[in-house]
Amino acid sequence: MFKTARFRAIAGIALAGAMALGVTACSGGSDAEGGGSAEGDVTTIGFVAVGPEGGWRTANEKNIQDSFSKENGFDLKYAPATNGDQNSQITAFTSFIDEGVDAILLSATEATGWESVLERAKEAEIPVVLLDRGIEPNDTELYTSRIAPDNVGISASAAEWANEQFPEGANYVVLEGPPGLSVVNDRNKGWDETIDPNFTKLESQSANWSTEEAKSVFETILKANNNNVQLVFAQNDEMGLGAALAVEEAGLKPGTDVKIITIDGTKAALEALAAGRLSFVAEYNPLFGDTAIEVVDAALAGETVESEIVVPSVTFDSPEAATEALPDRAF
């Protein structure tokens, strides 16, 4: 078992933590076994990140960096992707393996294409923890654990709310994130499996998590359908806010003429819900740095870790609920 000075300090916590037995984590690359930190008191982490992408991403990546701090005994190397390009992520991932870091955190910009570098990390006995984004095919032998809120469950709860709001059904549009992402596929799955058959899906288009793109995409759809759209399912807050702008541009009232659902739960979305411009906001909790530390510690100690750890999230279905949550909103 590989033990850093810092690990010994919280051994009690990790072992007492809710780390139910699952897949056997590889005991991280250590000097004794080649690579890792010389002194044994600082744990080196390679963070293969997404980089700037909106409110949620900023909150998540800041939370991870704040958690894996020097004070907490970590040396975290932050490698955001170049314009979301997967090749830049694979290059960073490979260099972290060559450097012999103790563990790697990965938020993938694409779901596919990770098998070979994950195999290499496994051979080097470097645990890999997936943050938020999954890989496809989802081979749990290739990584230690994935930590994320429940994308399928969250979008199912959004569809349940829509079913209650429109018992006779409605014409709706889906604004999706970039194609090829596990979270996009999972959010479609939860929604499509739950929305009542008396609803009509007019369009499902990607707007790349962007307010501007969502505004122009939805403006076009409103015109093409003579504004006969009652509901928007936006897969993130920024796109939902873009749809609200398009509704106003069309001389309609968001929240009244067109109800807009979003996922993330950022301050901007809760402010729009409090103002009645959005109608339902499902949180996708970005603050799971502490959980990631527990997983990395357990993996480096050779403990077994659940291959999937679900981060709890809540939903907001009224201006009152948003107003109540806003004062303490951390992201």
Please, which residue, 114 or 209, has the CB nearer to ligand AHR?
209
The token pair at 296 is 């990395």
DSSP string, 187-252: HHHHHHHHS-TTSEEEEEEE-TT-HHHHHHHHHHHHHHTTT---EEEESSHHHHHHHHHHHHHTT-
**Least Å distance between CB 209 and ligand AHR?**
4
| Residues in contact with ligand AHR, shown as a per-residue x/- string from 136 to 175 under the rule CB under 6 A | ----------------------------------------
Please, which residue, 59 or 293, has the CB nearer to ligand AHR?
59
Of 258, 207, 261, 252, the residue nearest 234 (C-alpha): 261
Which residues, listed in sequence order, are joined to residue 171 by a DSSP beta bridge?
200
Q: Please give the Cα distance from 274 to 304 (Å, whole number).
A: 43
**Least Å distance between CB 179 and ligand AHR?**
13
For ligand AHR, the binding residue among 133, 215, 259, 277 (CB under 6 A) is 133
Q: Please give the Cα distance from 298 to 121 (Å, whole number).
A: 17
**Least Å distance between CB 292 and ligand AHR?**
15
Asked if 236 is part of the footprint of ligand AHR (rule: CB under 6 A), the reply reads: yes
| Residues in contact with ligand AHR, shown as a per-residue x/- string from 85 to 124 under the rule CB under 6 A | ----------------------------------------
Nearest residue to ligand AHR by CB is 236
For ligand AHR, the binding residue among 27, 37, 45, 57 (CB under 6 A) is 57
Find out whether 231 and 286 touch, Cβ atoms under 8 Å: no
Residue type, 256: T
The token pair at 234 is 């936006």
Please, which residue, 166 or 331, has the CB nearer to ligand AHR?
331
For ligand AHR, the binding residue among 90, 126, 135, 183 (CB under 6 A) is 183
For ligand AHR, the binding residue among 2, 7, 47, 56 (CB under 6 A) is 56
Mapping DSSP to helix (H, G, I), strand (E, B) and coil, where does residue 71 land?
coil
Find out whether 244 and 278 touch, Cβ atoms under 8 Å: yes
For ligand AHR, the binding residue among 68, 114, 209, 233 (CB under 6 A) is 209
Of 255, 220, 254, 214, the residue nearest 235 (C-alpha): 214
Find out whether 269 and 278 touch, Cβ atoms under 8 Å: yes
Q: Please give the Cα distance from 327 to 99 (Å, whole number).
A: 43
Kindly identify the residues of this chain, within the stretch 270-289, that bind ligand AHR according to CB under 6 A.
284
DSSP state of 310: E
How many residues contact ligand AHR, by CB under 6 A?
A: 12
CA 141 from chain center: how many Å?
Answer: 21
CA 126 from chain center: how many Å?
Answer: 23
Asked if 132 is part of the footprint of ligand AHR (rule: CB under 6 A), the reply reads: yes
Please, which residue, 263 or 309, has the CB nearer to ligand AHR?
263
Find out whether 36 and 99 touch, Cβ atoms under 8 Å: no
Q: Which stretch binds ligand AHR (CB under 6 A): 54-62, 118-126, 274-282, 321-329?
A: 54-62
Q: Which stretch binds ligand AHR (CB under 6 A): 20-28, 49-57, 160-168, 214-222?
A: 49-57
Of 171, 168, 170, 243, the residue nearest 202 (C-alpha): 171
Find out whether 71 and 41 touch, Cβ atoms under 8 Å: no
Q: Which stretch binds ligand AHR (CB under 6 A): 5-13, 48-56, 118-126, 309-317?
A: 48-56
Asked if 186 is part of the footprint of ligand AHR (rule: CB under 6 A), the reply reads: no
Please, which residue, 90 or 148, has the CB nearer to ligand AHR?
148
Residues that bind ligand AHR (CB under 6 A): 53-54, 56-57, 132-133, 183, 209, 236, 263-264, 284
